[in-house]
Amino acid sequence: MKQGSTIILRCAVILAGIVMLAICGVMAWITFTENQSATEYHVDYVLIILILGTYAAAIPYFTALYQTLKLLDYIDTNRAFTKLSVKALKTIMYCAIADFIICMAGGVPFFAILGRNDGNPGMVVLGLIPAGVALIIAVFASVLKRLLSDAIAAKSENDLTI
């Protein structure tokens, strides 16, 4: 396979990482400005939960992005049909499941509280969007992992046939 045939996918992964870094930076900025404007012992627990949830979701997110870059490197170096690729897909699947759980445990309740306070029950959908995306990625990675495992097994069987 031609070197660099996955350049668009690499750019998309890097862009996704930049977006998450920007989100984490905004959360840090909000924390800093809230601490500057807060009264003596005023703590906004909802904001703390949102910030901790964002940073907790960033860990598996960046792990999955790193594994995606490794998978693209395997594809570029003609090692796509190896156990390394299966391992990378498995890690991506587990990271997506972790992000789904974090989004369902923190994001959906946060937007439900926010929607209830603003009188807009449709805000829950905003919490469901990242959870749904993470679930779709987990299912897709699981299917690809299964297909790749079957292809590797078939290739191994074919190599043993004379």
- Confidence at residue 124, expressed as pLDDT on a 0 to 100 scale: 83
- Global pTM value: 0.84
- Confidence at residue 127, expressed as pLDDT on a 0 to 100 scale: 82
- Confidence at residue 38, expressed as pLDDT on a 0 to 100 scale: 52
CB 124 within 8 A of CB 104: no
Rounded Cα–Cα distance for residues 72 and 148 (Å): 14
- End-to-end, the C-alpha distance of the chain in Å comes to 27
Longest dimension (CA), the chain: 79
- Confidence at residue 36, expressed as pLDDT on a 0 to 100 scale: 58
Q: What is the mean pLDDT of each run of 10 residues along the chain (162 residues)?
A: 77 95 88 61 68 91 97 91 94 97 87 79 84 95 95 84 68
Could you tell me the two tokens for 66?
A: 């790193």
Could you tell me the two tokens for 142?
A: 């699981």
